[in-house]
Structures are given as C-alpha cells and as structure tokens.
C-alpha cells in the first residue's frame, strides 16, 4: 500500500494504531496505512477510499483476516488516547449508544431497532475523551455486537373474537414474560455492554494515565442501578454524571421525602443558570434560564432478580427552565445524579456544564454514520469485517470532530495541521470555481477556521440562514468533494512523475 501523503496524518495514524497487537508487524503496518488513507479519503465504501487494486486487496485481506480482531484496533486507539490524556488532571468522558443500519443480503448481521421493523446492522456503545475545554482527544473504548435473532414463538391467535377471559389471560402471560426478562442476570442483558465500556475505560486510565481523573457523562439510557453501582465501585476516585430517567425511591431519612423529585423540590433553589440552547428539529435556539435545586440523597434500589435492596449515596441536581420556554415546546428539565460533591452553586453549575459536553459523542456518531465517514454506506457483508471497518471509520470520525472543534476554538492554526497538501490545493481550486464575484481566494495557506468554513460551504452551508454554525453533515459533504478533487490532483501528480 502507498504511504499516506500528509506527514501530519501519517504521524497521527502511527500514534493511533502503531502499537496494535495484530499478531504480525506487517498487519499492524497495514492497519496504520489504512487508517491514514481513510483519513485522507473519507468514505464508507472500500472502493471509494482505496484507489488502486493493490490497496483494495490489502484492505480486504486485513478486514477478512479472522486473526485480526476489531477489539485489537479499539485497544490500540484507546490506549493511545489514554496516554494523551495523561497531560490533563481531569478529562470528560461522554458515553452513548448507537447503531449503524447496513445492507445485509447474506443475513450475517444483527437486528437494530425493533424486531418488527426488520432493520439490520451493528450495535455500538462508545466512549470518547474530551479535555476540560471540550477538545476531542480520542476514543476511550467501544463495544460492538450483533443482536441475536428473535426467538420465534407460535403465532398468536387474532385478538378479534377473543373473550374477555382470554384477553386477560394473554395479558397475564405477557406480564410474566416481562418479569422473567427483567430477572435475567445482567450478563445476559445489553446493560452489561455499558458496564464493560465504563470498567474497561477506567482500567485503561489506570494503566496509562493513573493520575488523570475521568468524569463520565451519560444520558438516561444508562439510568440502571447496576451501571450506577459499577461507576461507584470501579476506580471510585473517578466522577460521573448520569441523567435520571426514573423518580427513584430513596432510603428513608427523618424529615426527607421518599422519592427523588420530591426531595429536590423540597429544597429551595440555590441559584440560576443560563444555558445556550442550539436550534434543533423541535427546538428553537434561545438562552434558557434554569433554576437549580440540589440535594444529597441515598437511592434505595432493588435487584429484581434476588429481591435485595442496595443503598447508593449520591448527589442530585435538578435544573428546570423558568420563563424562557417558547410556546408549544417542553421546558428544559434535567435531574442529574452524580458522585461529585455539591456544596456550592459553582459546583452545581460545573456539573451541568460538563453534562452539556455529552452531546459531543452524539456528534461523533453522526459523523461516523453519515457526516463524512459513511459507515452506513458500507457494502461489507461479514460481521467481523464490518466491525473492523467500523472501528477504523470511528477513529477517523473523532478526528473530524477535532477539526471542527479547532476551527471554532483555535481558528488561527494553519490548515496544513489537519489537511493534506492535495486537499488544500483542491479546496482552493473548488472555492475559486464557486466564489462570489466580490470574493477573492488567496494563494496563501488558509487557517483551519477558513478552510473548515470553505469546506462547509462546499457541503451546502449557507451561513446564518442555516440556523447556526456548520455541523458534521455539511462538513462531511464538503469533505467528500474536496477528497474527490484531491485524489484527481494526486493521480495527475503521480502520472507527471512517471
């Protein structure tokens, strides 16, 4: 395979995968080269990334090699991330679940979404690291799996014509089935994937960055007592914030209400908080004014399998919007559970501030799926091959989000810090072709902010009329055009040398 053209990309690819334990140094070298090439030619299809037959064959051989595991690539990238994080006293670790919908003509993948919808693909839970300022630092861990097929049962009789007694009997059977599902050991549930992601991340930091504290940020999907227990038990000096789904029962304390929301409502607000709300599909941009209540609580959780109760001592923050909710919208309302001490308004605001970073992992998942990496356009039909390719694309997606972040926070960096020479040349040519009459495209090296804005413009970004700053989708569309043009320029340069 050819070496990657951009020295910065080459160094980054070696840092991510250079220590991957794949059983053979040649395989590790190929993984490094593949990662660099994907970064240069971001796409979900093998044929769009690797231009020559030799490159494509090398990529397919690695992806189809049964001795090369996706877990080894994840471990290499995550260990490199932990080593980078050692420079910080604390890093923010958003965790979230997602899935990739893929074509599956061979029936080799798993179900995603509801079984009745029939969609196929892979499931993932991802954790990434951010600096305290929000700069993406890399992948901390990723769990990937294929959901097993649904166990088929005898076809149910039609509801029409059933007697009331038959309907009641059917409801009782359904409830018994639900109780049996809840009483399964956690190892048999997808909840275990969340625990594995958290525990593995903590162990990596213990090995590579023992002085760095992790602060996990997790949404309502992870409000399960087993996950909360794992967060408290493993490397307990780490912090976490989990958005509550349930109005959980509390251990009875004299003078304390018995449930979480009542305990928070009984406390007078300690102050206010202003949250910059970004426009969304069902949400208007605004500066939301939130009131903050805090309480020290002990959750009374019950293991449905053993019927044992467990006490989980935590702090709780309730932030709810007052007076700024647009008509027809639901007010912002968060109940956050954390083990970070909350004795002051500043500490409560810090908990909320860092929880807002959780959306960064959703942005990476969006980039991984459709905003520049396009895993959902992959035409691989083997589960292990898809997972390895998915890992490579996800590693690149984190770097794309880093480019977006640097464009907003370090706008004066030269574009060459993240883009290859051919990409910069292609970007300038494309912008000169579509520039306005009054606009001048200079020959000098653009800054990372200017380059990112031009790339977003090529992807359809229209500035203020788009409703906010450019995001992963427009950046990904623009990058596709730039990468296509850059590959043509690279081919012309190689032909002229020959």
Q: Is 404 a domain residue?
A: no
Please check the confidence at residue 157 and state whether its pLDDT lies above 50. Answer: no
Q: Which of 25, 43, 68 is the last residue of a domain?
A: 68
Output the pLDDT for position 4: 37
Average pLDDT over residues 234-256: 85
Residue where the block lists tokens 């009374």: 300
Under a CB-based contact definition with an 8 Å cutoff, are residues 91 and 85 in contact?
yes
12-70 confidence digits (pLDDT tens): 899 999 999 999 999 999 999 999 888 877 788 898 888 889 999 999 999 999 999 99
The enclosing domain of 309 has a CATH number of 3.90.350.10
The residue out of 17, 38, 68 marking a domain boundary is 68
Q: How confident is the model at residue 204 (pLDDT cuts 50, 70, 90)?
A: very high
**Residue 209 and residue 82 in one domain:** yes
Could you tell me if 324 and 293 lie in one domain?
yes
CB atoms within 10 A of CB 384: 18
Q: What is the CATH number of the domain that holds 6?
A: 1.10.246.40
- Enclosing domain of residue 486: 410-497
Q: How high is the pLDDT of residue 28? A: 96
Residue 266 domain-assigned? yes
Instruction: Assess whether 114 and 263 both reside in one domain.
Output: yes
Q: For residues 80 and 16, what is the distance between their CA atoms, to the nearest angstrom? A: 6
The pLDDT of residue 256 is 58
Structural domain contains residue 377: no
Residue 423 lies in a domain: yes
CATH code of 425's domain = 1.10.740.10
In the three-class reduction of DSSP (H, G, I as helix; E, B as strand; rest coil), residue 315 is classed as strand
Q: For residues 336 and 356, is the Cβ–Cβ distance under 8 A?
A: no
- Mean pLDDT in residue range 395-401: 91
Question: Greater confidence, 116 or 363?
Answer: 363
Interior/surface letters 93-129, b for 16+ CB within 10 angstroms, e for the rest: bbbbbbbbbbebeeebbbbbeeeeeebbbbbbbbbbb
* Same domain membership, residue 315 and residue 228: yes
Strand partners, 275: 288
Output 257 or 364, whichever has higher pLDDT: 364
Closest CA to 58 of 3, 5, 139: 3
Rg from Cα positions in the chain: 25
Q: What is the pLDDT of residues 307-356, one digit of tens each?
A: 888 899 999 999 999 989 998 888 989 999 999 999 899 999 999 999 99
DSSP string, 227-268: HHHHHHHSSTTSEEEEE--S--BB---TT--SBHHHHHHTSP
* Residue owning tokens 């977006």: 404
Chain-centre distance of CA 441, in angstroms?
A: 35
One domain, residues 357 and 450:
no
Is 393 part of a structural domain of the chain?
no
- Rounded CA-CA distance 289/277 in Å is 10
Residue 102 scores a pLDDT above 80: yes
Q: Which two tokens stand for residue 273?
A: 């908080």
The whole-number pLDDT of residue 2 equals 40
What would the two tokens of residue 127 be? 């954790």
User: In Å, how far are 127, 145, 247, 400 from 111, measured between CA atoms?
Assistant: 22, 10, 31, 28
> Mean pLDDT over all residues of the chain?
87
Are residues 46 and 86 both part of a single domain?
no
Q: Is the pLDDT of residue 476 over 80?
A: no
Q: Crossing angle of helices 191-208/225-233, nearest 10°?
A: 10
Name 126's bridge partners: 96, 142
Q: Are 277 and 286 in contact (CB under 8 A)?
A: yes
Residue 169 reports pLDDT greater than 80: no
Our count of domains for the chain comes to: 3
> Tokens 């700069």 sit at which residue?
135
Which range among 89-98, 253-262, 376-385, 453-462 shows the weakest confidence by mean pLDDT? 253-262
Q: Evaluate if residue 266 carries a pLDDT over 80.
A: yes
Same domain? 46 vs 133:
no
Q: CA-to-CA distance for 285 and 467, rounded, in angstroms?
A: 8
> Which has more pLDDT, 149 or 313?
313
In a domain, 400, yes or no: no
Confidence check: pLDDT of 217 > 50? yes
In sequence order, which residues have a C-beta less than 8 Å from that of residue 377 and are 6 or more positions away?
43, 44, 45
Cβ neighbours of 483 (radius 10 Å): 22
pLDDT of 73 higher than 80: yes
Last residue of a domain, one of 333, 366, 399: 366
Q: Is residue 417 part of a domain?
A: yes
- What CA–CA distance (Å, rounded) separates 17 from 154? 49
DSSP at 21: -
Q: What are 422's two structure tokens?
A: 């051919």
On whether both 437 and 349 belong to a single domain, the answer is no
pLDDT at 151: 61
Name the one residue in this structure whose structure tokens are 């334990």. Answer: 21
pLDDT over threshold 90, residue 284: no
pLDDT on residue 354:
96
Q: Assign 1 a pLDDT band (cuts: 50, 70, 90).
A: very low
79 and 39 both lie in a single domain: no
Residue 487 has what pLDDT? 75
Q: What is the mean pLDDT of residues 481-495?
A: 80
Q: Both 101 and 61 in a single domain?
A: no
Residues 229 and 250 in one domain: yes
User: Are residues 35 and 1 part of one domain?
Assistant: yes
Q: What is the pLDDT of residue 345?
A: 93
CB atoms within 10 A of CB 466: 14
Give the chain's count of helices (H) and strands (E).
Answer: 15, 10
Report the range of poorest mean pLDDT among 128-137, 206-215, 467-476.
467-476
* Mean pLDDT, range 368-381, rounded to an integer: 86
Asked if residue 486 belongs to a domain, the reply is yes
pLDDT score of 158: 52
Q: What pLDDT sits at residue 3?
A: 41
Residues facing residue 142 across a β-bridge: 126
């Amino acid at each position: 395979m050819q070496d990657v053209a951009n020295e910065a990309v080459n160094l980054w690819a070696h840092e991510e995968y250079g220590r991957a334990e794949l059983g053979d140094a040649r395989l590790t070298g190929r993984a490094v080269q593949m990662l660099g090439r994907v970064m240069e030619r971001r796409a979900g299809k093998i044929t769009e990334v690797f231009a020559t037959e030799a490159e494509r064959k090398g990529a397919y051989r690695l992806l189809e090699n049964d001795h090369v595991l996706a877990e080894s690539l994840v471990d290499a990238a995550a260990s490199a991330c932990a080593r980078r994080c050692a420079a910080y006293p604390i890093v923010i670790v958003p965790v979230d679940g997602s899935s990739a919908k893929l074509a599956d003509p061979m029936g080799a993948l798993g179900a995603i979404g509801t079984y009745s919808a029939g969609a196929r693909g892979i499931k993932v839970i991802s954790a990434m690291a951010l600096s305290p300022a929000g700069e993406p630092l890399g992948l901390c861990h990723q769990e990937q799996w294929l959901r097993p097929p649904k166990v088929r049962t005898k076809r149910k009789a039609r509801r029409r014509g059933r007697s009331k007694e038959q309907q009641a009997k059917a409801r009782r059977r359904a409830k018994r089935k639900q109780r049996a599902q809840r009483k399964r050991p956690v190892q048999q549930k997808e909840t275990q994937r969340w625990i594995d992601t958290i525990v593995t991340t903590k162990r990596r930091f213990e090995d590579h960055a023992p002085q760095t504290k992790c602060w996990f940020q997790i949404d309502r999907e992870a409000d399960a007592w087993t996950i909360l227990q794992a967060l408290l038990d493993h490397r307990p000096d780490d912090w976490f914030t989990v958005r509550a789904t349930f109005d959980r029962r509390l251990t009875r304390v004299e003078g304390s209400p018995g449930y979480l929301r009542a305990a928070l409502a009984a406390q007078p607000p300690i102050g206010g908080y202003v949250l910059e709300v970004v426009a969304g599909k069902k949400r208007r941009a605004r500066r939301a004014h939130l009131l903050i209540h805090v309480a020290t609580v002990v959750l009374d959780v019950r293991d449905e399998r053993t019927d044992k109760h467990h006490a989980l001592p935590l702090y709780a923050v309730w932030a709810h919007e007052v007076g700024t909710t647009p008509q027809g919208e639901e007010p912002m309302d968060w109940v956050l559970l954390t083990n970070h001490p909350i004795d002051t308004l500043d500490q409560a605001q810090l908990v909320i501030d860092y929880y807002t970073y959780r959306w960064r992992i959703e942005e990476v998942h969006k980039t991984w799926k459709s905003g520049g990496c396009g895993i959902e356009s992959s035409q691989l039909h083997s589960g292990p091959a898809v997972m390895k390719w998915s890992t490579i694309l996800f590693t690149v997606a984190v770097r794309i989000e880093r480019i977006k972040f640097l464009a907003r926070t370090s706008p004066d960096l030269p574009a060459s810090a993240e883009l290859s020479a051919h990409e910069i040349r292609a970007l300038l040519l494309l912008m000169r072709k579509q520039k306005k009459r009054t606009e001048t495209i200079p020959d000098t090296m653009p800054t990372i902010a200017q380059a990112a804005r031009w790339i977003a413009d090529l992807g359809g970004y229209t500035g203020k009329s788009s409703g906010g700053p450019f995001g992963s989708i427009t950046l990904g569309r623009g990058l596709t055009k730039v990468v296509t043009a850059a590959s043509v320029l690279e081919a012309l340069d190689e032909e002229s040398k020959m």
